[in-house]
Structure 1
């Protein structure tokens, strides 16, 4: 059964030439794979071959940090926890690609390892973290693939925590990477702000720069990850936030890093300049209510977890309709902040945009009296 809060107001239509004009102003993008997404509205501003599988190289480390953040949030890993380095791991990953230059006797903290992974793309740190967190690399990549499945990343698979060449066993798509990056930022905002956005890192007396081409150049830039191998070419998932509006872009398959740097900057600047977000609901707004089964309460409010918007060509007004959907009735217990429903945004000529809604309160599992009361109320249509 699917619950719905019905349709909501419709706005005036944006002229078709408005979108044509904004696309005509787009800068040249030579990457064979390209995607630009407005996270707040879920609208894809530009897409090229976004479901094509490709080798992510170090972009893999976005998922590595996602799993680490999830373990930390669940209390299964601590930021101050020290992790010794196995001799075999030291021998295998010493000075292999980008590293933190971890010495054999080091016992870095989880926080130091995540900083190394995110800021300087440390291959050694990925393996040390994976082994220290859950016992082995296969156990960690199992969590990576489970997270991918939960997020709906249907065309991605992870065989390594650092993206090192593995004969194509690790692969992703631009669409999946945009989904992952958006979830990383919205599900773990405090950890994201703590570890992402750093232009350099110093550890063990060695200072290394972050190779993110946005840092120091693009206003509001705070992520996400570059990647390169001879097999994959030069790729980049980038993000910037301005005035509460966040864009995420994915580019894959460049053969030169300087071209990747220039065109990625032009791409995201076009996204901010040529498009604008029109507000739908402020963060924390109750958008609707959902029926609850077996709970201490019969219904729960559905709340916007962030500012929800609709994105249109700058200066235009969009025609759209809104509805709320959930699989219902929802079953108790329900935790406040848990994603339990979706806001469906329909814009003529566009794919349906789906944005999350969360429970506005905890709903405990009901006792016998609650079940009797709710059953009686249901019988008389209350």
Structure 2
């Protein structure tokens, strides 16, 4: 007889889960948003997260990523000086006030993009790394590299996020990009926490980082703001408290003040409303599965590793948890064989499916025991309402 079975959780696992409860969903005012817990990979919030939207200066993160790759691969040197072209000199908005014909070190250009959001600095880097020496050529390379990295809703028309038809990114893509910057380039990431960079004393009006979170003492250490009339006010942000890091992207806010308030609220919500909890330890029996034709009637189900999940941190209500397997499971059963899944469904978060394995071997029953099992099944089938299938 074969049927889908939901086992009763062992008391130890159930108690852990009953100590947690659902958290209220964050009601963001952003047009689109994505919030990620980096360590566990848990998506805490997704609002139109895969919609391709104008990213404004937040797309400069892709230019920076490719510049970091070039330095790592020795295609650029930090002390190398690059020429400023007429095209780079033509940009307005946020700039380093570069002048055509001057030469600027790669290090200063990178800091100028990160801290000052320099459009001209982006173009200088882009032209140096472009296959054909043009910003348009570099933008095509950006799109290709983004696709390789899994950013499938990103298309670039320039290196800076200057308004252009078809220049778009999704909030999920921007968050993924921020995560890659943090994890792939720890030697460069501290630059994102710099609050001031005075490149030219004669042009000091643009020397402060626009990230409103850096001075709040909430663990914020990056990454990039953005604003155009079409995109509204946005931010790709990250904050670390203890051993947890939250990375998020928002866009479409009406004012810089609204962006600052929304960003701070998201960080506080993400850290206060969720916490890592150990659901079960490696080798601890989570549940018992029924055994058919075995030396024992049940077999313990265990996880091979400690299972620690990010779960709502508000007490008061249960989180759904169940063990699912197809059973009874016919003996013999080898120790360590995967038999079931522990499914945990926190309110407002993606469900977690954790494989469970046989805690011990179960040999097949002897001849007499097998005959008794078969007899019991046959007798059961003769009872009215029986639905088991041999």
Scaled by the length of structure 2, what TM-score is found? 0.68
**Residue number in structure 2 paired with 1:115:** 111
From 157, 176, 180, give the equivalent of 2:177. 180
Pick one of 121, 137, 142 that aligns with 1:125. Answer: 121
| Residue in 2 that maps onto 1:348 | 345
Shift of 1:11: 5.4
Residues 1:125 and 1:320: Cα distance change in structure 2 (over 3 Å): farther
Q: Distance in 2 between matches of 1:203 and 1:190?
A: 21
8 Å contact 1:234–1:260 — kept in the other structure?
yes
Q: How does 1:106-255 map to 2 (within 5 A)?
A: 106-134=102-130, 135-167=133-165, 169-193=166-190, 195-205=191-201, 206-207=203-204, 208-255=207-254
Aligned to 1:23: 24
Could you tell me which of 92, 104, 108 is aligned with 2:100?
A: 104
Note if contact 1:42-1:353 (Cα within 8 Å) is conserved in structure 2. no
List 4+ stretches of structure 1 deviating above 3 A: 10-17, 315-321, 344-354
Q: How many Å apart are 1:17 and its aligned residue? A: 7.6
In structure 2, C-alpha distance between the alignment counterparts of 1:153 and 1:347, rounded to whole Å? 29
SS in 1 for 2:156: coil
SS of equivalent to 1:196: helix
The corresponding residue for 1:79 is: 78
Secondary structure of the equivalent of 1:264?
A: helix
Q: Is the 8 A contact 1:185 1:192 kept in 2?
A: yes
Q: Which runs of 5+ in 1 are unaligned?
A: 1-9, 281-307, 322-343, 355-382
8 Å CA contact retained: 2:20, 2:314: no
Q: Check 1:209–1:17 CA distance in 2 against 1; reply closer, same or farther (3 A cut).
A: same
Conserved? CA contact 1:218–1:240, under 8 Å: no
SS at match of 2:212: coil
Match of 2:54 in 1: 55
Instruction: State the Cα deviation string for residues 299-355 of structure 1 (Å, max 9, x = none).
Output: xxxxxxxxx96311126798699xxxxxxxxxxxxxxxxxxxxxx99743654779x
Q: Calculate the TM-score normalised by the size of structure 1.
A: 0.69
Instruction: Assess if the C-alpha contact under 8 Å between 2:88 and 2:121 holds in 1.
Output: no
Q: Note closer, same or farther for the CA distance 1:184–1:279 as it changes in structure 2 (3 Å cut).
A: farther
SS at match of 1:71: helix
Q: Which whole-Å deviations, capped at 9, do the CAs of 1:109-147 have from their partners, x for residues lacking one?
A: 111001010111000000011112332213322331122
Asked whether the equivalents of residues 20 and 313 of structure 2 are also in contact (C-alpha less than 8 Å), the reply is no
* Larger radius of gyration between Structure 1 and Structure 2: 2
Answer whether contact 1:36 1:268 (CA < 8 A) is retained: no
Number of equivalent positions: 288
Q: How far apart, in 2, do the equivalents of 1:149 and 1:42 lie?
A: 20
Report SS of the residue matched to 1:203: coil
Note closer, same or farther for the CA distance 1:165–1:155 as it changes in structure 2 (3 Å cut): same
Q: 1:345 to 1:79 in 2, by over 3 A?
A: farther
CA contact (8 A) 1:178 1:248 kept: yes
1:35 shift after superposition: 1.8
Q: d(CA) in 2 for partners of 1:224 and 1:352?
A: 29
